[in-house]
Chain A
Amino acid sequence: MKYLFVLLFALLSITQTSAQDATAILNKVDDNINSHTSIVKSDMIIYGRRNQRTVTSVGYTEGKNKSFSEYLAPAREKGTKMLKLENNLWIYSPSTDRTIQLSGHMLKQSLMGSDLSYEDMMENRKLTEMYDAKVIDEETIDDRKTWVLQLNAKVDDASYDSRKVWVDIERYVPLREELFAKSGQLLKRTELKDVKKIDGRWYPTKMNYKDMLKDGKGTDFVVLEIEFDVEIPAYIFSKAALKR
């Protein structure tokens, strides 16, 4: 009986330590990746069955709840703008000169034919607010040692029921993420590569999002330029900026 108590206590300690560690790891990842503001110029490369397209955009972000994107190329997308404030998303189309707010299940639509949905783009809460995390393993990805974190939703409105995140042990950068449905089916996989040190932060500059329910190579997201903690004028995050 004495041994049983010791074993139980040890197991509880390990579980508690592992949960605390996982939360601490996620917080460190958050600190490393996120900044107060950022301006990112990027290419989104969408692989279709017939062709591949590159959509260039510049995105302005402040905190978790404000972001503004303007599409620069190709011609068909040029001038399209998106504004995200809290849980609202507006899209401006220059061809019709209209601003449309997307809501509800329409947010589940694909973003510009990519493997990302508007909902994926809208996600702004910290992972630690939505999921209980624990370290379940250690693995090596591209010669980098990683912790494998298992995240299970603790809120009802999480977009995915569970996630697995592979976090670089030294740099606190996620190198892979898998998103699962309640049934356990793998829905999406993200691979993060070309990690570079930018302004003192380790940042992945090439990402591949793959909708596992679709055929194809997924969607690449390549960071062309990035600036952290720069001042962004307040009007950028207003509906008026969409039509400017």
Chain B
Amino acid sequence: MIKFIFKAILRDKNRSLLPITVVATGVLLTIALSGYLSGMLGDIIDQNARFQTGHVKVMSRAYADNVDQMPNDLALLGLDEVHEELNNNFPDYTWVNRINFGGIIDAPGENDESKGQGPASGMAVELFSDSSGEVERLNLKESLVTGKVPEKSGEILIGYEFADKLKVKVGDELTFMGSTMYGSMTFSKFIISGTVRFGVAAMDKGTIIIDFADAQQMLDMADGTGEILGFYKDEVFMQDQVKEMSKEFNAKYASSSDEFAPVMKTLGEQSSMGSYLDLVDSVSSMFVVIFVLVMSVVLWNTGLIGGLRRYQEFGIRLALGESKGHIYRAMIYEALLIGTIGSIIGSALGIVVTLLMQRYGIDISGMMKDATMMMPSVLKSKFTPQLLYIGFIPGVLAMVIGTMLSGIGIYKRETATLFKELEV
């Protein structure tokens, strides 16, 4: 039967070409758009993970409660002990120290007067440790507008717009003024090693990056850090795994009443990232539902047109004694085959488009001049195994449902009037 239908499809192009084209186009669009949206949302999550949240973050409980205020007075102390525990229990993760801090950056001019001054949002990362991978993780080399990444203590990176505002360039001196972990006033001099473009207006206008050890000394945080970020070794975020990890880690301190005991938060538990993760999960389902609904209507219509074209054929088959159910089933088998062929073609094309978009992406840097949200400047698609079936199954289903809807007309044919209809 299948062989028979397959031959019919191949021989009667009028019967198959339009539905196959429609299904293939729908599947192609579903896969390409789903891959693009997953990639875009994934990139946003990835960017936030690299700069802010990590895949998991370890902080003191008190710090975690006020994390938006960068409360370094509530920092996590006893770093060696915490790192030892993390490395022993979760060796698949890279654990890096970060300190976020705020203060004032002052650019000295002539006669010790300031030539520029502004509030700065600082980030201290392990710049000089190869094992931390922070320079690559934050994409610092590629983000440089001028100069180079700091190579020694006392060097600083500054957002390129901030540098313009302060009228400073690579090699110039800056003075940082802020508060230590214990509230004392602190001043430090730095030499600008480079200016960077983060692609986020808020960061380009006020962010500085210094080495973690410099920050520890400047902020009086020996043996302390604001945050320890954990990244899975190949930078892939695994939500279920990190949930288990944080549950296991936090269980150890559950009985402690110390407000400075460490606590682990997953990416989804920070900075409203949870809703993004839910969005990523729901995007695929959303696409499938929309696809099946829209395509069913389109294919129903296509089926009706085909049904009209084959009105005479069905009439003759009924006149020859073929049962209505048999014709209906044959149509469904035919639809199944057409849907499968269309879905295979659409999936193949969709995956090719996704892979191309994954490599080249769409550059949106021109639209992000005043963006305050952390977003990558090139949005790329992401190929996931899910894409192999996300378009295929709905493609076949839509064709079958469309045919089932249009084929109902067969049961409305009256045998008694067939010959009149067929004008025999």
Closest beta carbon of chain A to B116's beta carbon, Å: 12
* Of B162-170, B181-189, B279-287, B405-413, the one touching chain A: B181-189
- Stretch binding the partner chain, chosen from A31-39, A43-51, A135-143: A43-51
Distance between B201 CB and nearest chain A CB, rounded to angstroms: 19
Q: With the chains together, A99 CA to B377 CA distance in Å?
A: 40
B119 touches A106 (CB 8 A): yes
| Residue in A50, A100, A105, A106 whose CB lies within 8 Å of B73 | A50
Residues of A within 8 A of B179 (CB): 110, 112-113
Q: Which of B104-112, B266-274, B309-317 contacts A (4 or more CB under 8 A)?
A: B104-112
Interface presence of B175 (CB below 8 A): yes
List residues of chain A with CB within 8 A of the CB of B186: 76
* Chain A positions 60 through 98: 1 when the CB is less than 8 Å from some CB of chain B, otherwise 0: 000000000000001011001000000000010101101
- Interface contact A98-B106, CB-CB below 8 Å: yes
Any chain A CB within 8 A of the CB of B74? Answer: yes
B259 cross-chain contacts in A, Cβ below 8 A: 49
What's the tally of chain B residues with a CB closer than 8 Å to chain A? 26
Q: Is the CB of A49 within 8 A of B189?
A: no
Docked Cα-Cα span, A101 to B119, in Å, equals 13
How far is the CB of A88 from the nearest CB of chain B, in Å?
12
Q: Are A93 and B187 in contact (CB under 8 A)?
A: yes
Expressed in whole angstroms, the Cα–Cα distance for A8 and B104 within the complex equals: 56
A53–B175 touching, CB < 8 Å:
no
Once the chains bind, are A91 and B183 in contact (CB under 8 Å)? no
By CB atoms of chain A within 10 A, which of B104, B112, B119 has the most? B112
Interface centre among B62, B112, B184 (most CB of A within 10 A): B184
Q: When the two chains form their complex, are residues B184 and A96 in contact, meaning their CB atoms are under 8 A apart?
A: no
Asked if A190 CB lies within 8 Å of chain B CBs, one says no
CA distance A226 to B81 in the complex (A): 48
**From B104, B117, B175, B182, contact of A48 by CB (8 A):** B182
Asked if B182 contacts A91 (CB within 8 A), the reply is no
Q: Judge if B128 is at the interface, Cβ distance under 8 Å.
A: no
Question: A98-B112, A100-B106 given as contacts; is B73 within 8 A of A80 (CB)?
Answer: no
Residue of B nearest to A94 (CB): B187
B177 A51 Cβ-Cβ under 8 A: no
Contacting pair A96 B62 (CB below 8 A): no
User: Are A53 and B185 touching (Cβ within 8 A)?
Assistant: no
Indicate whether A150 reaches chain B with its CB closer than 8 angstroms.
no
Q: A110 vs B259: C-alpha distance in the bound complex, in angstroms?
A: 24
A48 CA to B179 CA in the complex, in Å?
13
Which residues of chain B have C-beta atoms less than 8 A from A80's C-beta?
A: 185
Q: How many residues of A contact B (CB 8 A)?
A: 28
- Decide: A76 and B220 in contact? CB cutoff 8 A: yes
> Quick one: which of B73, B114, B183, B189 has the most chain A CB within 10 A?
B183
Contact assessment for B74 and A49 in the assembled complex, using a CB-CB cutoff below 8 Å: yes
A114 within 8 A of B: yes
The one of B62, B73, B117, B185 that contacts A93, using a Cβ cutoff of 8 Å: B185
Given A49-B62, A91-B177, A106-B104, decide whether A112 and B188 contact each other with a Cβ distance below 8 A: no
- Taking the closest CB of chain A, its distance from the CB of B105, in whole angstroms, is 10
Looking across the interface, which residue of chain A has its beta carbon closest to that of B189? A96
Q: Does B93 contact A (CB under 8 A)?
A: no
B189 / chain A contacts, CB cutoff of 8 Å: 96, 98
Distance (whole angstroms) from the CB of A103 to the closest CB of chain B: 8
Q: Decide if A100 touches B175 in the complex (CB within 8 Å).
A: yes
Indicate whether B180 reaches chain A with its CB closer than 8 angstroms.
Answer: yes
A residues near B185, Cβ cutoff 8 Å: 77, 80, 91, 93, 112
Measured between beta carbons, the chain A residues less than 8 angstroms from B183 are 46, 48, 53, 110, 112-114
Write out, one digit per residue, whether chain B residues 257-278 have a CB within 8 A of any chain A CB (1) or not (0).
0011000000000000000000
A99 to B106, CA, bound (A): 10
Question: Which residue of the partner chain A has the closest CB to B180?
Answer: A76
A55's nearest neighbour on chain B, judged by CB, is: B184
A80 to B, closest residue via Cβ: B185
Tell whether, in the assembled complex, residue A112 and residue B184 are in contact, meaning their CB atoms are under 8 Å apart: yes
Tell me the complex Cα distance, A80–B113, Å: 17
Chain B residues within 8 Å of A46, by CB = 183
Would you list which residues of chain B between 73 and 132 have a CB under 8 Å from chain A?
73-74, 104, 106, 108, 112-114, 117, 119
| A102 nearest in chain B by CB position | B104
Give the nearest-CB partner of A71 in chain B: B185
Interfacial chain B residues near A76, Cβ < 8 Å: 180, 184, 186, 220
Q: Tell me the complex Cα distance, A103–B186, Å.
A: 18
Please, which residue of chain A has its CB at the minimum distance from the CB of B77?
A: A50
The answer to whether B187 and A95 have CB atoms under 8 Å apart is yes
In the docked arrangement, what's the CA distance between A112 and B183, Å? 5
Chain A residues, CB < 8 A from B112: 98-99
State whether A105 and B106 are in contact (beta carbons under 8 Å apart), knowing that A98-B112, A98-B175 are contacts in the complex.
Answer: no
- In the complex, how many angstroms separate the beta carbon of B340 from the nearest chain A beta carbon? 65
List A contacts of B184 (CB < 8 A): 53, 55, 74, 76-77, 112-113
The chain A residue with its CB closest to the CB of B183 is A113
Q: Which chain B positions have C-beta within 8 A of A55?
A: 184
Residue of A nearest to B179 (CB): A113
The verdict on A113 contacting B73 (CB below 8 Å), with A53-B182, A53-B183, A98-B187 known, is yes
CB closest chain-B residue, reference A96:
B187
Contact A105-B119, Cβ < 8 Å, known A96-B189, A98-B175, A113-B73? yes
- Contact A101–B177 (Cβ < 8 Å): no
Interface string of B338-381 (1 = CB under 8 A from A): 00000000000000000000000000000000000000000000
B275 nearest CB across to chain A (Å): 28
Bound Cα distance from A194 to B108, whole angstroms: 44
Closest partner residue, chain B, to A105 (CB atom)? B119
13 example contacts (A-B, Cβ-Cβ < 8 A) are as follows: A50-B74, A80-B185, A91-B185, A93-B175, A98-B108, A99-B112, A100-B177, A109-B104, A110-B179, A112-B179, A112-B184, A113-B182, A113-B184
